[in-house]
Structures are given as structure tokens and as C-alpha cells.
Structure 1
Amino acid sequence: MPAPSTTLLIEGSFSELADEFAQYIDALRKPEGTASLQADLAPLLQPLREQEQSDAQPDGKQRDEVLKKLVSAAAVLNGAPEKEIISAYNLLVHLVHHASDPDMFLSRICAYLAKPITSSPHRYHVLLATVAVIRQTSSSVAFDALKPQLTAQLPGWLAAWELDDEDAQRLHLAIADAATASGDAELAQTHVIQALQTIPAANASNPESRELALRALTSALTNPTVFDFTPLTASDAVQALRSSDSTLFELLEIFTADTLDAYEAFVAASPLASISGGVLADAGDALQNKLRLLTLASLAASTPSRSLPYATIATALRVPATDVEKWVIDTIRAGLVEGKLSQLRSEFLVHRATYRVFGEKQWAEVQGRLMVWRRSLERVLGVVRSERERFVREGLQAAQAAEEAAQGKGNDRNKGGDRRRHGNNQQQATPAAPVSAPVEAVAAE
């Protein structure tokens, strides 16, 4: 659904409007006591005024000089009264369109919008108008200047502004259109999904909701960087397509969880040109290539051995064996799998794979792998336990052997000591015999 257009009615020549804007800026800056912008621009506007009166071609460089001064001084617009800030920014954007290169001024205006504005509701309208201008001019430079603010601050702005669903949807679609015009398909898809999420369940079947759901779904299917379709399937408006556009919804289900085989069977039965008015008629190659990547991701996630032979991949993707490595590399680049190619063994060693859906089947696979992991840990613990017991047993045996060896040496020392003491006793008893002999002799006599 295209964003609503905004029509501005502005009367007057460039020189008149620039002089009026300068006068307004002076009124805002008056308390600051700065020099008059209107007086500063007078020498530059006079030649332009004369050219306009004579219907001559205005001097582009002269206009750019005027705009440089106006845009540089326009930072004070953030402090303008609530009822004037929208018209003031609209006038500034109108003047910038007269520049030789509006991009160099629009990026500066976007930077001003990133700064605090006293009135939040009016800031929403200013942002919406600025995004519309960027979309109309397809200015990538201006959009690049605004993009960091959208990424970092837009959620906070939306919360502070307390927008209703309709205004939030309008803003998201305007940003998506500007991103598309600037060549940023990824950001455009993000804001289309966010616009889709603003649709209440009660309005999910409305024609406007169907149109937005078709836009979100077709852009997601054809976008080469989108592989997660959960935000789509969670949307009430997309779920409503099950009744209004059942064939397209069936295709979404294939991209959500099925493989290339199911896709080819689906296309054979329902040509893309016949689906929802042919919104995907020219997307056949893109869809097939994308589903090849998703099929390889599913194949890698469901392989218990974590090893995929090239022949298996070639059969699943319907490609020659010589192209297998190319498709594996593309799938790795898409962030769906991680692994290592083995040309020697002609296999892909899977390190990580992304589950496309996570339901009962996937929980069963996780349970199986956890059981395998548990048994592996139990075997490892068994080995560690047995090695520990062996280490303790050998330690005890070594300690016992050392103790026995120590006791053996002690016994040997004791035996040696006994022998030495016995020898000494014999040496001490031998000289006693001569002493008793004379006594016996005396007794005999």
C-alpha cells in the first residue's frame, strides 16, 4: 500500500520566499542578538530578483549561496512555536528543491530533525514530510544521513509520540518507500513488516490489510537476504491470506519449512503467474535459488553425523556435483550454516546449521542429540573414573612396595647388628680361661 501523498501550496518566487524565510529566522533568533540573516542575504537576493523579473535564467550558484546561509541558520526551527514548525520546514524543503544539488542540503535538514524539538506531535509530521521528500527525489545521500537516526531513535520517538496504529503505519510505509527509492531493500522490508504489525486483528481481512500483506509477503519471498518468515506467519493480516489467497499462503508455508522438492511440485501444479494476480510471475529464478539455500540449511540441520557428501547435496539441490561448493559457500554467506568443505573427501563438515522452524520434530532431534551427547559424556566420565581408580591403585601399590622395601632394609640392618654383637661377645669370653687355671692348680695342691 503506497504511502499517502502530501500536497503543498506555496506561492511566490524563490527570492521572495527566501527573503520571507530569512525574516522568520531573524524573528526566532532575535532574543539571541545575532546579526540579521535578511540583511546578510539582501546582496545575494537582489540579482536573483532582477533575473526573475526579466524572466531570465536564474543563477544556480547564486541560489546555492543563498540556500547555504538559510540551511545553516535553520537549526533554530526546532525552537519554533508548535503551530508554525511544520509550515516552516515545508517552506525550507521547498526552497532546497531549487538547488543545483538538493542532496547536500537535505542531509543537513535530516540532521536537524535528529535533535530535540519542543513539540513531539509536530516532529512526527515534519519527519513524515521529510521522508516523503527523500522518496520523491530518490536521494540516497539524504536518506543515508537520516538512516542512523531511524535505526537508533525511531523506537523511542514512536513511544514518546504515542501514535495510533494508523499514523504509525503511515510513517513506517513512508520510510519503506524512501528506503526502496534509495536502494536499501533490507530496511524497506523491515519497515513494511513493522507497518504490517500495526494492523489490528479485527481489520486483518480488510482490502487495505490484504494489500499490505501481499506487499510484505512478496517482498520477503523475493528479497535475497530474508530467510526468517516468522514475523510474517505471526501477522493476522498474513494469516488472513489463507482464505483470500490460499495458493500464495501455501507457497509461504513451503518457504517456511519445506524443501526444493515440494517447491517444484507446487510450481508444476500452480504456475507463479497464476498466483494472486501474478505478483511473483517474474520471480521464478530468485525463488528457486533462495529455496536451494534453505534446502541446504534444512539438510545440514537434520544430519546427525554432521557430514554431508557432495552427492547428497547435489541430489537435494538439483545441481551438478561441480556446483556443490558454490552453493555451500552461498549458504554460508547467507548465515544459514557454518562448516568446512573437504575436497579430499568430497563432503561438507557441518559446524552449525539454522533451524528454519522449531516444532515437535525439531525438539525430537534436539532430544536425540542430547541423548547422544549424554552417552558420550558418560563414556568420557567412565574413562576418567577408571583412569583415576587405576592411578589411585597404582599409587597405593607403589607406596606399599616402597614401605616393604624400607622394612626389608631395616631387617637387614638389624641382622647385621646382631652378628656384630655376637662376634664381640666371643672375643670378650676367650681370655678368661687362663685366669681360672692357676686357681684350679692351687686347689689341687
Structure 2
Amino acid sequence: MLKSDSVSLFAEGTFEEQIQELVNYLTRGLPDEARAAFIKPFQDVLITRGSQKPLEEDSDRRRQTIIMVLAEVKNLGQGSDRETEGFFNLLYSHVLSLFPETSKAQEHLEPLLATISSAPSETPTTKYKILSNLFNALPRQSPLRLQVVNVLLPLVVSNNDLEVLQITRSTVDRWLSQWDVLQDEKTAFLKNIADAFNQAGDSETSYSYLLSRVELLPESSPDATTAALDTIVATLQLPTVFDLNHLLKVKALQTVKDHPLFGLLRILLYGDLAQYKEWQAANTSTINEFGLDATALDRKIRFLTLASLATQHVGKDLAYGKIVSALQIESSQVEVWVIDAIRAKLLSGKLSQPTQTFHVTRAMTRAFEQAEWKLLEEKLVSWRSGLVSVLEVVANARKSTQVSRGANVHGDLAKEVPTAVVS
């Protein structure tokens, strides 16, 4: 529903006619006596008296009039969806033209946004349209766009309508590059989006925004510690997140390097099942405090342990017995764990029940450190030697073929040349 380009709102008629239209909308449903009393202050301010400048030339009086209208907007009003949308579009047009300075426009739009979001409405789509129209009426660099989206997000989430905003990662990145807002406001916005997707049940998308938030925060930020812990908890809870190497290098995470959760993250990246069980026994209170699922954590460390074991056997057979020992499971569970790890895209290969082995063709590396570089070097040297041998075989075969062809040619020529007659 939200668009990326600003859209101008055009209004027809004189200023007096437009104010009359706005006021008439606000007085719908009022009895005649109350309606007359409501309209009178607007009539008074619109009348040009004595030495006053004409209204079209008197910007102060026009601003005063719009402020009076804004003060009377207590709900969405009584009208069709189209009429309600038209009322607010006209009101936006005047606010943005009469208060071009961002701070002044913000002063008058903030209470209006609060009124719109809290107003009762039979169909939430009316609110979505009203707010989206304001978003699109603002310049692309305007920080007020951020405020509009922050009002829209909880509104659509509360109605299970997050998809109507059509928020994508590329859209968010573009907004953050365009909006003239502080770094802290950008990171707070990423947190709001993450919360919205989490409440909508999309934890993976939520995690991607949490990660962007913590990557954007400097270590000196007062929000760095909270953001780091939020991201670590989400990492631990998501069953599909196994790539942890990048996360430990994020600067903001260094603010919690002495926290038990950071220690657990290191175990998941570098450690094994025995180290995890030791951590678990010593940090029961931490698991409870952050609502972590011990069973899910146990499953994740076993997967990562299996991936590390498989990394050492790429191109080779991995015996079931080694998997049993590393994962501390029954031999009957080996194939289940391997198949689940393949589904999680941690490794690939072929199981063999007769030989009780798993032939590894690919495995995810948990952390690319010195040992992994050394292993890669050994593989490259081995492949290079293999390629050299292949090239030698090809060269010898080619040479043998050329020699064979040469012998055949000489034989054929000898047959065709006539014997010389000596007289």
C-alpha cells in the first residue's frame, strides 16, 4: 500500500470554500443549534475586516484557521470511506503547504496521527488509506514519513494485516537511505519492523531486521547491549539459523562479551556437545530468564557438531560410530539425524546401511579459522596434484596418437611410391 514516491494533494476552490468543506464534514451528525455554534468561530476568522489583508494574502490567518480545524478532529468523522479519505487529504494539503518547516508540520501532524490510529472504525482499511496518503504526500526525504510508518505498523499488526504494507527489504533500505533522520531513529525503526514481523509470526524476517539493527549500532550506543542480547536470543531460538561466524564479529555484540549468552554463542560456533552441557548445567537461570528452549538448543548444538564432523570427511566415508560418539545418540538414530541435517542444508551426501557409513560430499563450515584454511590448502594441493596427473595422461595419450598417425602415413606413402627401374 505504501509507495516510494511523494504524491501531491491538489485541492479545488478558494481557501474559504475548502474550509467550509472541512467544517461541514466535522459538523455531520450535530443538531442545528450545536452546528451553528460550531461554525461561528470559523466564520469569524474567515471574515476580512477593516485594514486586514485579504485572506488569500494573510498566511497567519490561514494558519490560525487550519489549527482551529485540527483541534476539532476527534475521530474519523461521519462519512463514506471516500468522503473520509477526501477530508483528510484536503487537511494534509493545507498543513503541508502552510507549515513547510518539518518541525512545525510535525507539531500539528503528531496529534492528528494519534487521533487517526486510536479512532474507532468499522473497516481498518480506511485508516490504512488515510495514513498511506499522508506518507505519499510527504517528500521522500522527510523524517515525517518515519512517524507515519511507525503509526501504521502496530495498526496493521493488530489487525493481522501486515502484508498490506508490502514491506520488503529493498524498500526499507531505500527508506533509510532517503529519510533525514538520526542513526538512533533508524535502528529504532528496524526494531519496530522486527517486532511487527515477529508478532505476525514471521520470525525469520524479524531476525533479519534485528541483525541489521545490531550491525548499524555503534558500541557506544546506549541501545547496543539490549540490541545485542535481543539478536543473540533470536539467533538461539530460530531453528534455521546456523551461520554464526559473522555475528560474533559485529561490534555491538562486544558490549555483552562477558554475558553468559555470548559464551553460549561461542560454544555453538567453536564448541561441542560436552561444552554445551557444561554451560547448560551452570546457566539454568539464564535459560529461564530469556525464555530459551533447552531442547531446541540441544538440537542445534548436535546439528553443528555433526556439521563440523562432516567437514573433516568431505569426499570420504564417515562411519556411523563416529557420529554416535560425537552426538551421544543411539546408533539407530544416526540416519534420522543425518537426514534432518541434510534438510537443514548443513551437509549433503549418501547414506549406506550395508557399510554403516555416510559418504560426505558437502558440509557447512561453522567457523573459518586457521585450521579450516589449512584444510582448504591441503585439498587444493591434492586437487592440483590430481589435475597434474590428468594432464600428464592426456599429454601422453595425445603424443601416442600423433606417433601412431605418423607411422600410418609413412606406410601408406611407401606403398604408393613406385619401385625405381635401374637400367
Range into which the TM-score falls when normalised by the shorter chain? 0.7 to 0.9
Equivalent residue for 1:251?
264
1:212 Cα shift?
2.7
Equivalent residue for 1:123?
145
Asked if the contact 2:245/2:366 (under 8 Å) is kept, the reply is: no
1:146 matched to 2:161? The reply is no
1:343 Cα shift?
4.6
Give the direction of change, closer, same or farther, for the CA distance of 1:106–1:399 in structure 2 (3 Å limit).
farther
Query: RMSD of the TM alignment (CA)?
Result: 3.7
For structure 1, which segment, 184-193 or 67-76, has the greater mean C-alpha deviation from structure 2 after superposition?
A: 67-76
What does 1:222-261 align with in structure 2 at a 5 Å threshold? 222-243=237-258, 245=259, 247-261=260-274
1:352 matched to 2:358? The reply is no
The correspondence for 1:212, drawn from 224, 227, 231, is 227
1:289 Cα shift?
0.8
Q: What are the ranges of 5 or more consecutive residues in structure 1 without an aligned counterpart?
A: 1-27, 54-62, 419-445
For structure 1, which segment, 321-330 or 287-296, has the greater mean C-alpha deviation from structure 2 after superposition?
A: 321-330
Of Structure 1 and Structure 2, the greater helix share is in 1
- Percent identity, aligned pairs only, is 25
Asked if the contact 2:135/2:145 (under 8 Å) is kept, the reply is: no
Asked if the contact 1:297/1:354 (under 8 Å) is kept, the reply is: yes
1:286 Cα shift?
0.7
Deviation by residue 1:383-416 (Cα, 9 ceiling, x = unmatched) = 1011111111111121222223334xx22xx66x
Q: Distance in 1 between matches of 2:353 and 2:127?
A: 53
1:68 Cα shift?
6.0
Equivalent residue for 1:274?
285
What does 1:295-314 align with in structure 2 at a 5 Å threshold? 295-314=305-324
Q: Distance in 1 between matches of 2:137 and 2:310?
A: 50
Equivalent residue for 2:195?
177
Equivalent residue for 1:186?
204
Q: Distance in 2 between matches of 1:31 and 1:39?
A: 11
Give the direction of change, closer, same or farther, for the CA distance of 1:373–1:174 in structure 2 (3 Å limit).
same
Equivalent residue for 1:66?
80
Query: What TM-score do you get using the length of structure 1 for normalisation?
Result: 0.69
Q: What are the ranges of 5 or more consecutive residues in structure 2 without an aligned counterpart?
A: 1-8, 35-76, 97-101
Q: Distance in 1 between matches of 2:265 and 2:303?
A: 15
Asked if the contact 1:89/1:126 (under 8 Å) is kept, the reply is: yes
Question: Which fold has the larger relative contact order, with Cα–Cα distance below 8 Å and residues 6 or more apart in sequence?
Answer: 2
Give the direction of change, closer, same or farther, for the CA distance of 1:39–1:78 in structure 2 (3 Å limit).
closer
Larger Rg: 1
AA paired with 1:302?
Q
Q: Secondary structure at the match of 2:360?
A: strand
Asked if the contact 1:300/1:306 (under 8 Å) is kept, the reply is: no
Aligned length: 359
1:239 Cα shift?
1.4
Q: Distance in 1 between matches of 2:346 and 2:318?
A: 15
For structure 1, which segment, 337-346 or 359-368, has the greater mean C-alpha deviation from structure 2 after superposition?
A: 337-346
Query: What TM-score do you get using the length of structure 2 for normalisation?
Result: 0.72
Deviation by residue 1:226-260 (Cα, 9 ceiling, x = unmatched) = 222244312333212223x2x32221101122232
1:87 Cα shift?
4.4
Q: Distance in 1 between matches of 2:394 and 2:135?
A: 62
AA paired with 1:126?
V
1:341 Cα shift?
3.7
1:370 Cα shift?
0.2
Asked if the contact 1:77/1:89 (under 8 Å) is kept, the reply is: no
Asked if the contact 1:86/1:126 (under 8 Å) is kept, the reply is: no
Asked if the contact 1:131/1:178 (under 8 Å) is kept, the reply is: yes
The correspondence for 1:93, drawn from 109, 117, 125, is 117
Give the direction of change, closer, same or farther, for the CA distance of 1:145–1:303 in structure 2 (3 Å limit).
same
1:316 matched to 2:329? The reply is no
Q: Secondary structure at the match of 1:352?
A: strand
1:133 matched to 2:155? The reply is yes
Q: Distance in 2 between matches of 1:171 and 1:320?
A: 47
